[in-house]
Amino acid sequence: MKNNKITSEKYSRRDFLGISALVTAGTLLSPVLSFGNNSIKANGNVPKEKPDSRFAGVQIGAITYSFRDLKGGLDATLKACIDAGLSSVELMGTNVEDYLGAPKNPVNRRPNSKKPFTEEEKRTVEQYNSKLKEWRKTNGTVKEYAQLRKKFNDAGVNIHIYKWTAGETESELDYSFKIAKALGAIGITAELNDTNARLMGPVAENNGMLAIFHNHLQFGEPGFNVDKFLAYSPANRLNFDIGHYFGSTGLNPTDFIRKYHDRIASIHLKDKTGLNNTTLKNTNTVWGQGETPLAEVLHYVRDQKLPIYCDIELEYPVNAWSTSVKEVKTCKEYCRQILI
């Protein structure tokens, strides 16, 4: 890795878990964990302090995709955020319309299904699309999303990014950015590709928001040029996944952040093995067992005082004796120990 030698500080899983256990038990308290007089009611009667996951000026959150195993819809997701101690999230919008009472599509198909629609199914889908469009005009309005934002904010959780769009037309994208703004988000995340960068940027700009694009393995593809996607609009930003970047290129993500920091809105945090690992390449691991320079990245964001959200994305397998909420909480504490 020419001129990209990784010099990150490593925290062993064993050392960290010992500290984390003390924190969880309440025997190791830092001023960073002091939340003042903020409180909410949990389980009806028991007071509970609002979460605070901002450490040394760095906002640690999570994409709610991390809680994809949970059942119970948006209420379960919000509870998971609180239980994990997160004060900020990138909200996946997959089930939000269902939560707000939108009509449901009666034709269920897997995303990759190649089976053609029958004529009856086509008519049913058309009727559903018409009902959904009308619902968005009447019930799925900015007002309802503002109330949803209040529910999260009252619990101490800020929605800083929304990951969802109503479609690809200009009117559908305009609607999407308006409700994202009502949720308190700075913008919408989508996958990094030419179509999204070309269509979403101008609409985001018109709404005073950001179009934020998430990378997978693109940086490892020959000839890939991220500047092309950023050039479509000044509103275009990156949701820079350091794990995917490191795993697909073997390069130090801190160097990329140093160069593109003003075009990065958020970072996805995960631990992976690198491209050059001789036994297991580009594989998600429990934090502290991989090779991604998490500490170096977080220290750089902290020391440079970069206004970049840093979000946990839980992708390693969760053992039967644990839960996604416990693992995200452990990852959050891992970040706290690095930053304080």
Tallying the residues shown for the chain, one arrives at: 340
pLDDT of residue 46: 37
Give the pLDDT of residue 150: 97
| CB-CB contact of 42 with 75 (8 Å) | no
pLDDT given at position 113: 66
- In whole angstroms, give the CA distance from residue 238 to residue 18: 35
- Pairing verdict, β 271-272 and 284-285: antiparallel
Give the residue extent of every domain in the chain: 51-107+117-339
Q: What is the pLDDT of residue 115?
A: 78
CA distance 29 to 52: 13
Three-class secondary structure of residue 268 per DSSP: strand
User: Model-level pTM?
Assistant: 0.84
State the pairing for strand pair 54-55/58-63.
antiparallel
Q: Which tens digits make up the pLDDT trace of 248-259?
A: 999 999 999 999
CA distance 122 to 326: 43
For 71, list phi and psi in degrees, rounded to 5.
Answer: -110, 155
Residue type, 300: Y
Which parts of the chain have pLDDT scores under 70?
A: 1-48, 109-113
Give the DSSP per-residue string, 212-231.
Answer: EEE-SSGGGSTT--HHHHHT
Measured in whole angstroms, how far is the alpha carbon of residue 153 from the centre of its chain?
17
Assess contact for 66 and 328: CB atoms under 8 A. Answer: yes
Give the model's pLDDT for residue 117: 83
Q: Exposed, middle or buried by CB within 10 Å (0-12, 13-18, 19+), for 106?
A: exposed
Query: Which DSSP state fits 67?
Result: G
Instruction: Using alpha carbons, list the distances in angstroms from residue 97 to 17, 69, 203, 247.
Output: 38, 19, 21, 34
- 3-state SS, one letter per residue, for 13-52: HHHHHHHHHHHHHCCCCCHHHCCCCCEEEECCCEEEECCC
Q: Note the pLDDT of residue 49.
A: 86
What's the CATH number of domain 51-107+117-339, 3.20.20.150, 1.10.150.240, 3.40.640.10, 3.30.1330.60?
3.20.20.150
- Residue 212 class from Cβ within 10 Å (0-12 exposed, 13-18 middle, 19+ buried)? buried
pLDDT of residue 44: 41
For residues 56 and 43, what is the distance between their CA atoms, to the nearest angstrom?
31
